[in-house]
Structure 1
Amino acid sequence: MRYFYFIISLVLINLTVFAQSGTIKGKISSADGQPAAFVTIGLKDTKKGTLTDENGQFTIKNVKPGSQTLVISYTGTKTLYNQVTVGADQVTAVNFALEATSSQLNEIVVDGTKTRTINKRPVSIGKLPIPAMDLPQGVAIIGHEALENQQVQRMSDVVKDVNGVYMASTRAGTQESFNARGYGFSSSNMFKNGARVNSGVMPEMSSLERVEILKGSAAILYGNVSPGAVMNMVTKQPKFNFGGEVNLRAGSYGLLKPGFDVYGPLTSKVAYRVNGTFETADSYRDKVHSKRYYINPSLLFKLSDRTELLVQADYLKHDFTPDFGIGSIDNTQIADVPRNSFFGTPWQYAHTQQTTSSANIKHKLNDNWTLNGMISYQKYNRDYYAVERIQADKNGKWGRPLNRAYNDEEYYLAQVDLNGKFKTGSMEHTVLAGVDGDRYYTTAYSYNQPTAYDTINILDPSLYTPRTDIPAASRIKSVTTPVNRFGAYVQDLVRITPKLNLLAGVRFSYLQNESPVTLDYKTGATTKTNAKYDHAFSPRVGLVYKPTANMAVFASYANSFTPNSGIDIDSNVLKPSVIDQFEVGVKNDFLKGLLSVNVTAYRIKNNNYAQTAPFDKDGKPNNNTNLKALIGETLSQGVELDIAGHPLPGLDVIAGYSYNNITIENVPGGTGSSIEGERLVGNPNHTANASLFYTIQKSAVKGLKFGVGYYYIGQRYSGWNNTVGQSQKYSRLISVPGFSTLDLSAGYNFKRFGVIAKVSNITNTYNYYVHENYSINPIPPTQFTGTVSYKF
């Protein structure tokens, strides 16, 4: 009995000691107020420690009450020691600011000897909390500091830092269309906070914390995406420390853009953030105007030590002048007219609105397993009326066609992911399993406006007097198209040995295009066409071999399918595309992790590539983007070089080069077939980029910074690819020469104030972004942009 009482006493003593332990929670920030991620936090003379997360936050549990010394370690400066008094059964909250700015925190001490380089930092776009070095594909992340230093206005400014991804066109100035490795992005490849967004709107850049791009195959993670790459825009999130910024941007051609960003705690468990902006601008193009309104609120709820809920929303309203540029002559050449020439009407308009909202919940089941869930809703609409498609004859005469359209879209998404780690023998597994489902509900309205407006001459405007009135137009028809998608996937990253990883997984995708419903407003009659169903399994396998701690060699294969929207000229539903992607590469860290240099080679084959049909069934030029033509297989092959890092204190480097050759292969043959081996329109063979920013670290002008940005896109073809037996005696391809632009920046930060200025395209290069042969938009001339800001 005495032994029983003795054991009970020991248990009670240990429970008492455990109950009297405390917890330290806190946040580490850089000197400029940004979260310091992956900083090592430890307790002196103990083995307790942890790393800060991506928000700079950390928690250390079961700490002995009394005075403790926190040891804060990071590369590039001395280790910090801070005294903390820990109370029994209490949570001690602390916040510390490092002496270095966020740009100086280029690698973080993990265990005293290893560092977190660009390749070794975990990336979220792969849906697994693993370093980029362990992924058998390329990843590019453009952080908030690069976005701010370059004063990005549109996504096209961001992709200049990502080689292999480039802007293909700006059709009518209504949206920016991007290609990656030869294949076009669509709404299926554009994401915001992990949920698809409509690509028909130019997203707001001021709200972004970073832009993530996953190159190569992403079908297993995101479903029916086009090959090449996917892009995820991550908006700024709430913080539990109060702060914010107000700024004002101004520039050439009437640009004026005030903005604000405020964040902080509402309670100890709830934090908020609100940012927004207003933008008004004219253009280097005559009679072209733009006005934008944007707001982005968010809330973060700490529901428990293991559970957090993030609720986000944003609203964008963009009113602007549709602008089809300078046009083509006789469908064979770009019109030789001044850069500012505008051939639209003074009244034409496009009114776009987009609202997105999402709720993300993250729950840690234990130290090894995490459950993530998300629901999202998006509302998008565009009201559009303009003359368009500038296709003049050889003398410059052009009959201006009219188009009135209204599009409305609702999008719903739900997904659940489970990821975790476990061992089987000596092998370590990092597993991802999930399901997702989404629904599009799109309605397109047609109008009874006249098809022809008037006639002008783009080479000699004095020959005709253009109309200026707005023709009446009323709705006559609507087509509603519901689309449902479902996917289930599982993926396992197996660490076979410390040097060899295997990544394998599979996804099942099911796509249901419900019967489109056409409503005739005049008769009230509704008609339906046939529904369409597609499904497929998409496997993925990859190997990563690390001969040294700073090098990884990888190879991967992925198969996927992409539904082809629209119908052919005979009203038949198009077959889906089956895509095979092969990728090999090497990732390297040099200069003790200060510089990452990665090289990737790839081969992508699409067995059923669809383009907008150039002509309708009667042989007339096709104005309906829903009419498509399958042109055969496409084969995309290329090599990419990525360079990024901080080779010297205060120096930030992003650079790259890509070579891509995408050609039409295995055509069906016969009249109307594509030409074997012809390069696919819209794609250059070569692109290159370089961005360098240097901030003076010491001396009386500490905080002064300088930057240079270089961008090159090579020769590419516009128009349409040629076909066997085509009626035209000339080539339908229009050669667009390559061009380079050079930007120079300078700025200065002093305490809470900042100012930065940029002169873009300082050589005043004149070139074009071309969509087919009717929307030819000149690139901007030399322009000035400046931003002043105050952080609090």
Structure 2
Amino acid sequence: MRSLIYSLLAIFIFSTANAQQTATGEINGKLLTQDGKPAAYVTIFLKDTRLKTISGEDGSYAFQQVPAGNYILITSFVGLESQSRPVVMAAGENKTVDFNLKENAVELQEVIVATGKSVNERNTSIGKMPVAIRELPQSAAIVGEALIRDQQAQRLSDVIKNVNGVYLGTTRGSTQETFFARGYNLGAYNMFKNGARVNTGVMPEMSSLEKVEVLKGSAAILYGNVAPGGIVNMVTKRPKFNFGGEVSLRAGSFGLVKPSFDVYGPLSSSVAYRVNGTYETTNSYRDNVSSARYYVNPSLLFKLSGKTELTVQGDYLYSNFTPDFGIGSVLTEPNQLADLPRNAFLGTPWQYNKAQQATASVNLRHKFNDAWTLNSNVSYQQFNRDYYSIERVQIQTNGDFYRPLNKILSEENYYTAQVDVTGKFNTGRLKHVLLAGADAERYLTSTYGFTNPTVYDTINVFDAAKYVPRTDIPAADRKTLIKTPINRVGFYVQDLVAITPKLNLLAGVRWSMQESPANTTSYLLYNDSTTKGTYKADRAFSPRLGLVYKPTNSTSLFVSYASSFSPNTGTDIYFNALSPSIIDQYEAGIKNEFFNGALTANLTLYYIRNNNLAQTAQFDSSGNVNSNTNLKELVGQTGSKGIELDLAYNPAPNLNIVAGYSYNDMRYVKTPDSKGSYIEGERLVSTPQHTANGSIFYTFNTLALKGFKIGAAVFYTGKRFAGWNNTVGQTQTYSRLIPVSGFTTVDLTAGYTYKHISVLAKLSNITNTLNYYVHENYSVNPIAPRQVIATVSYRF
């Protein structure tokens, strides 16, 4: 990694010196639609040269370092009428050439959705800067609405499977989805909706999403207290000033029924609306497991002026899901996953998890001029969980399972606010894109403790007649109420400097503070309260530095370093707040486009060093085995290194191919030399070394088959360990790791569209592969078997 970075730095220095020797100029301008709106993502190229670029979100474009000569400037986009302009360039001259396209903004948007554009040429709202991905020393991925629709995504995991190097884990009871990237859990701190941090206690609704963005690597400077590996941002559908919409009905295996609607249009010349929603009910391939949920997402867009717009939106989700800890593991020597059928359910018929999530946000965007923009967002979120269930499926060697019971009643209130200012300016020959901002958060969790029994009953998973299982619902009285407040604030500044047309420098720093007041515990049975833990405030600076070298218009190389400040949730075993983790991340890569942008090939190498990793404590303060995931311990230093290859190929407007491969190796590299410490050099659980993905979709455009589409998707998750990592002086004489084999699933899709009506069907896991998502060694959930899903839609 160091050798690669040094080599790239040498190239940077050479190119900088060489760039000053040629007197070249610049061609820039703006593309507008017939109705005066910016024309984004339109291709502009100089005829008979290799120079090509894409217009930005504001319709602007620029060719830098253009030698003197006569040129023909051409705009091109599938479905649009091409236009050309002659340009005569003298040495060192700058020219401005604007275009007015004959299509309006609605027609242009339809073409963009239909054809797509190169990943490296896109801007991302998650990056907060008005520059293309290829200009940044970081890798990113975008899954658009077309792919979400084609794959009939039910859950966020169906979308994330298309993002190379990000893979699905599971959580206690499978009541929510957890994702990992580069070896790290992307928990609640790393999940966002429309740029605001969002609770992950319930599976989000996919029908409301316009796209999902993933920013890999360090995001601390932009979003503050996040774990390493990356962040995920869900972008919801926006109001439109043209009337339209869609109604659909989805049905599938195991009783899935899901009607949905989406309606948008103008309320006036300056106000537009959008409302979408859905209801879903389904059983499961797992016995006694079912789900019912409904969702609504209204939004309003106010054009306050030609430069200012205000978006107000909210959503509400209710979910009633049967908690399911799967088949569990057998406490043998060594431990192993239970050999039970895929449908075996070991809980009670009455257990439940009822969750409600409501959010509201206001976004204000103002353009001072073509160079400077202000973006601010204020949001509120409330989350409630009512949970009562059998837990922790750990089976004795003879098949006995002492079924533990747990009751959770909690409420989370989350307030966030952020403001960003971006601007473009020059200092001499240097061109700057500046980002400055601030954010603040207030997070309050209220959790009840109950008097319910810790063990419900005993069953035998191999001999159902051995015991008579209980069927009653035990009384559970509220015993305690624990309130946990967290306050966060951060200020950041970042500057992307074009030192030359071929060389970018990205430098920035963030100051973060997290305040953790002591928890307050109220004893409801005694009308008393106390405070546990101590007040703690953590402060840190998080620097970021990166270089991007562009030897050609289609290739960029980058190196970067970032340090992040990641607070740790929960407390130590004495109820004191944990110290934060300081994480160093190094990254290098190359972004390529071939065949005039039809093929994108990106390669990234990374190394992440967590100087103080926090994990669930093995024992509580009394020395007993700990079952409380809120009690944690700092276990030492870990290292995560890997490589990611991303490919996107669009050889024709109606053919889309996406593929990726990732390798990750995450191990303990430095731990305390004491009893209970983890073993240096051992790979961490839940981290597969190899993952891969690929999908292909083709839409026929011949007269006989016009309207038909077919597709296939392949997903691979490699070998990984479940269970627990081994420790120094552990009582077990055998490894606590449980090997889990890798697996591959294949999905097939076919559809037909005629005028306003479309039909789409998918056969998933066509080989009926059996494997597992594992959370430690007690929540072991088999993956879904072969199943069919189909959607009928009417668009108006």
Normalised by the length of structure 1, the TM-score is 0.89
Q: Which residue of 2 aligns with 1:454?
A: 457
C-alpha distance in structure 1 between counterparts of 2:74 and 2:241, whole Å: 20
Q: Which residue of 2 aligns with 1:394?
A: 397
Which structure 1 segments of 5+ residues have no match? 1-21, 29-35, 42-49, 59-70, 82-91, 108-116
Superposed CA deviations along residues 568-590 of structure 1, whole A, max 9, x for unmatched, are: 33444322111000000000001
Tell me by how many angstroms 1:96 deviates.
Answer: 5.9
C-alpha distance in structure 1 between counterparts of 2:762 and 2:550, whole Å: 41
Please tell me the residue identity of whatever aligns with 1:161: N
Q: Secondary structure at the match of 1:730?
A: coil
C-alpha distance in structure 2 between counterparts of 1:93 and 1:656, whole Å: 36
Q: Which residue of 2 aligns with 1:76?
A: 78
Please tell me the residue identity of whatever aligns with 1:385: Y
Superposed CA deviations along residues 253-274 of structure 1, whole A, max 9, x for unmatched, are: 0000000000000000000000
Superposed CA deviations along residues 7-40 of structure 1, whole A, max 9, x for unmatched, are: xxxxxxxxxxxxxxx9963569xxxxxxx84348
C-alpha distance in structure 1 between counterparts of 2:732 and 2:614, whole Å: 21
1:339 correspondence with 2:346? no
C-alpha distance in structure 2 between counterparts of 1:521 and 1:166, whole Å: 42
Tell me by how many angstroms 1:105 deviates.
Answer: 2.6
Tell me by how many angstroms 1:523 deviates.
Answer: 1.2
1:682 pairs with one of 667, 682, 686: 686
Tell me by how many angstroms 1:459 deviates.
Answer: 2.0
1:592 correspondence with 2:596? yes
Q: Which runs of 4+ in 1 moved over 4 A?
A: 50-54, 92-96, 98-104
C-alpha distance in structure 2 between counterparts of 1:23 and 1:694, whole Å: 29
C-alpha distance in structure 2 between counterparts of 1:618 and 1:732, whole Å: 22
Please tell me the residue identity of whatever aligns with 1:740: T
2:582 pairs with one of 578, 598, 601: 578
Q: Aligned in 2, Cα 1:23/1:545: closer, same or farther, shift over 3 Å?
A: closer
Greater displacement, 157-166 / 293-302: 157-166
Superposed CA deviations along residues 103-123 of structure 1, whole A, max 9, x for unmatched, are: 65344xxxxxxxxx3212222
C-alpha distance in structure 1 between counterparts of 2:307 and 2:54, whole Å: 16
Q: Which residue of 2 aligns with 1:480?
A: 483
C-alpha distance in structure 1 between counterparts of 2:104 and 2:594, whole Å: 35
Q: Which residue of 2 aligns with 1:511?
A: 514
Q: Aligned in 2, Cα 1:461/1:711: closer, same or farther, shift over 3 Å?
A: same
1:611 pairs with one of 591, 608, 615: 615
C-alpha distance in structure 2 between counterparts of 1:348 and 1:256, whole Å: 22
1:229 correspondence with 2:230? yes
1:521 pairs with one of 520, 524, 530: 524
1:167 correspondence with 2:168? yes
C-alpha distance in structure 1 between counterparts of 2:578 and 2:352, whole Å: 33
Tell me by how many angstroms 1:536 deviates.
Answer: 0.0
Q: Secondary structure at the match of 1:592?
A: coil
Q: Which residue of 2 aligns with 1:12?
A: none
Contact 1:103 1:652 in 2 (8 A): no
Q: Which residue of 2 aligns with 1:88?
A: none
Q: Which residue of 2 aligns with 1:549?
A: 553
Q: What is the correspondence of 1:383-462 to structure 2 with a 5 Å cutoff? A: 383-462=386-465
Please tell me the residue identity of whatever aligns with 2:294: Y
Q: Aligned in 2, Cα 1:641/1:74: closer, same or farther, shift over 3 Å?
A: same
Tell me by how many angstroms 1:78 deviates.
Answer: 5.9
Q: Which residue of 1 aligns with 2:67?
A: none
Q: Secondary structure at the match of 1:268?
A: coil
C-alpha distance in structure 2 between counterparts of 1:597 and 1:95, whole Å: 30
Q: What is the correspondence of 1:749-760 to structure 2 with a 5 Å cutoff? A: 749-760=753-764
1:703 pairs with one of 698, 704, 707: 707
Q: Which residue of 2 aligns with 1:713?
A: 717
1:732 correspondence with 2:736? yes
Please tell me the residue identity of whatever aligns with 1:631: V
Tell me by how many angstroms 1:627 deviates.
Answer: 1.2
Q: Which residue of 1 aligns with 2:91?
A: none
Q: What is the correspondence of 1:138-149 to structure 2 with a 5 Å cutoff? A: 138-149=139-150
1:631 pairs with one of 621, 624, 635: 635
Superposed CA deviations along residues 667-692 of structure 1, whole A, max 9, x for unmatched, are: 11121111010001110000000011
C-alpha distance in structure 1 between counterparts of 2:437 and 2:763, whole Å: 47
1:659 correspondence with 2:660? no
Tell me by how many angstroms 1:622 deviates.
Answer: 1.8
Contact 1:27 1:96 in 2 (8 A): no
Contact 1:184 1:226 in 2 (8 A): yes
Contact 2:165 2:691 in 1 (8 A): yes
Q: Secondary structure at the match of 1:620?
A: coil
Contact 2:307 2:367 in 1 (8 A): yes
How many residue pairs are counted as aligned between the two chains? Answer: 726
C-alpha distance in structure 2 between counterparts of 1:720 and 1:448, whole Å: 29
C-alpha distance in structure 1 between counterparts of 2:483 and 2:605, whole Å: 42
Superposed CA deviations along residues 325-368 of structure 1, whole A, max 9, x for unmatched, are: 01110061100010000010010001000011100001111221
Please tell me the residue identity of whatever aligns with 2:81: T
Q: Aligned in 2, Cα 1:763/1:232: closer, same or farther, shift over 3 Å?
A: same
Q: Which residue of 1 aligns with 2:242?
A: 241
Tell me by how many angstroms 1:736 deviates.
Answer: 0.8
Please tell me the residue identity of whatever aligns with 2:343: N
Greater displacement, 577-586 / 157-166: 157-166
1:256 correspondence with 2:260? no
Q: Secondary structure at the match of 2:636?
A: strand
Which structure 2 segments of 5+ residues have no match? 1-31, 45-52, 61-72, 84-101
Q: Which residue of 2 aligns with 1:46?
A: none
Contact 1:106 1:645 in 2 (8 A): no
Tell me by how many angstroms 1:143 deviates.
Answer: 0.2
Tell me by how many angstroms 1:731 deviates.
Answer: 1.1
Superposed CA deviations along residues 617-675 of structure 1, whole A, max 9, x for unmatched, are: 44433221111122211100000000113122311111100000000011111211110
1:493 correspondence with 2:496? yes
2:568 pairs with one of 551, 564, 569: 564
1:123 correspondence with 2:124? yes
Q: Which residue of 1 aligns with 2:8?
A: none
Q: Aligned in 2, Cα 1:23/1:559: closer, same or farther, shift over 3 Å?
A: closer
Q: Secondary structure at the match of 2:657?
A: strand
Q: Secondary structure at the match of 2:465?
A: helix
Q: Aligned in 2, Cα 1:52/1:242: closer, same or farther, shift over 3 Å?
A: farther
Contact 2:363 2:375 in 1 (8 A): yes
Please tell me the residue identity of whatever aligns with 1:75: F
1:97 correspondence with 2:99? no
C-alpha distance in structure 1 between counterparts of 2:656 and 2:463, whole Å: 49
Please tell me the residue identity of whatever aligns with 2:403: R
2:361 pairs with one of 338, 351, 358: 358
Q: What is the correspondence of 1:528-539 to structure 2 with a 5 Å cutoff? A: 528-529=531-532, 530-539=534-543
C-alpha distance in structure 2 between counterparts of 1:767 and 1:621, whole Å: 29
Identity across the alignment (%): 59
Tell me by how many angstroms 1:52 deviates.
Answer: 8.2
Please tell me the residue identity of whatever aligns with 2:642: G
Q: Aligned in 2, Cα 1:397/1:346: closer, same or farther, shift over 3 Å?
A: same
Superposed CA deviations along residues 353-402 of structure 1, whole A, max 9, x for unmatched, are: 00111000011112211111110000001000011111111111011111
Q: Which residue of 2 aligns with 1:220?
A: 221
